[in-house]
Amino acid sequence: MKKALIFGITGQDGSYLAEFLLGKGYEVTGVTRRVSINTTERISHILPKLNIVEGDITDAFNVMRVIEETEPDEVYNLAAQSHVGTSFSQTHLTLDVTAGGVWNILEAIRHSPRCFDMRFYQASTSELFGKNYDETENGEKFQNEKTQFMPQSPYAVAKMAAHNMVRIYREGYGMHASSGILFNHESERRGEHFVTRKITKWVGEFVNFKRAVRKEYNLKIIETVFTEDKIMFKCGNTGEVLSKFGKLRLGNLDAYRDWGHAADYVRAMWMMLQQDSPDDYVIATGESHTIREFLDAAFNAVEIEDWSDYVMIDPEFYRPAEVDYLRGCPRKAKSVLQWEPEISFEELAYRMVKHDVKTQGLQRPDLQKVPANSFKTRQIHMSDVQEEGQESMAQCPPHNEMEFG
């Protein structure tokens, strides 16, 4: 039985990778940090099948001991301070974890008597490209393995240092060490502070809140009024304010991202380590969308066609430096690894919204308490909400095969 060791098993990718490797018959060990609250929510369904050891990649001795004791065939490093926005305010921490942690793993492998029996995967990122892209003859922008890096954040600088170290250990010490240059990938398990999940979680909460208002006041009819920063629910008959909900606050909506689903991307990580020779690969869909387009897809999934009244721009979420355009060319991964993404952009957004509509609780503590019987009349003025339990999900469009030009 093959043994895999995952640093970052509690994260989005760690959870999908662990599931995938268990499915392949691996014995999987995951490293988790000692924290004051439980962080194993994403892997709770597979916990009994995993070996969990405590550790932190910034602790070199700990990393060395974990690698020695578990004797893995494959080591996956997914651990990082992975939020780009946060990296501007926690620069040193980001460098220590996202760059320094990788050195610790590389050194632990290099000094191990099993050095050449282990294969290493490093989670590199499209953030490395930052401001830079190449162009096809038709003027289409893209990034591939040959595009020059031009990082735009402390996170990207840390990842670039790690990426280069992996290459140096591969070339200098002959280690089987590969980096996946993964473009953005999301899922129902995505951290709530990344833009896609922030959007779908808000949509899920909003839909449930609206249901709760109707249930609380026993009203099928409410009027929705928009103020600068709130969405007010008024009684359609009396005009009385029943409750209010904060608008979705976002920063730059014009950046382009190449978004795929995490379940597809962890497959590529494993495929890289099955190759005879280590290498770097771009993993992407080849399709790029703005945050506005993600908003379209997410709101359309709950049959709101125009989201502009529901969203407000908050300068707090702008970054000191931005990555404006990401669109990966996964040609090498397709031809060498035979890797293809299976989940489209539309399906990704649809799945995330569906999950968040289902899981966000119905009751909200900030719901105003007004006795239901205080409304005597039931005349209909507006009907912008559906019958209880009938908030439907729009049909997800079929996945169109993507071809990179």
**Binding site residues, ligand NAP, CB under 6 A:** 7-8, 10-14, 33, 35, 39, 56-58, 78-82, 97, 101, 123, 125, 182, 184-185, 191
List the catalytic residue out of 10, 32, 125, 285: 125
Per the listing, tokens 């996202």 go with 98
Strands 119-125 and 176-182: parallel
Q: Is 265 a catalytic residue?
A: no
Burial class (CB in 10 A: 0-12, 13-18, 19+), 79: buried
List the catalytic residue out of 16, 26, 121, 155: 155
Work out how close the CB of 204 gets to ligand G4F at its nearest, in angstroms, rounded to a whole number.
Answer: 16
Restricted to residues 80-99, the positions that interact with ligand G4F (CB under 6 A) are 82, 84-85
List the catalytic residue out of 74, 127, 186, 205: 127
* Shorter beta-carbon distance to ligand NAP: residue 56 or 134: 56
Binding of ligand G4F at residue 291 (CB under 6 A)? yes
Decide which of ligand NAP, ligand G4F, none touches 84; Cβ closer than 5 to 8 Å per partner kind. ligand G4F
Please compute, for residue 162, the number of CA atoms within 13 A of its CA located in the half-sphere on the CB side: 37
What number of other Cβ atoms are within 10 A of residue 276's Cβ? 5
* Shorter beta-carbon distance to ligand NAP: residue 163 or 211: 163
Kindly give the residue spans of alpha helices, DSSP state H, lying in 330-384.
331-332, 345-359
Kindly give the residue spans of alpha helices, DSSP state H, lying in 342-396.
345-359
Q: Decide if 74 contacts 121 (C-beta within 8 A).
A: yes
Work out how close the CB of 188 gets to ligand NAP at its nearest, in angstroms, rounded to a whole number.
Answer: 12
Decide which of ligand G4F, ligand NAP, none touches 79; Cβ closer than 5 to 8 Å per partner kind. ligand NAP
d(CA 179, CA 353): 31
Structure tokens at 248: 């979705």
Binding of ligand G4F at residue 198 (CB under 6 A)? yes
User: Which amino acid type is present at position 285?
Assistant: T
Backbone angles phi, psi at 253, to 5 degrees: -95, 0
Residues that bind ligand G4F (CB under 6 A): 82, 84-85, 125-127, 183-184, 193-195, 198, 250-252, 255, 257, 291, 317, 319, 322, 326
Catalytic residues: 125, 127, 155
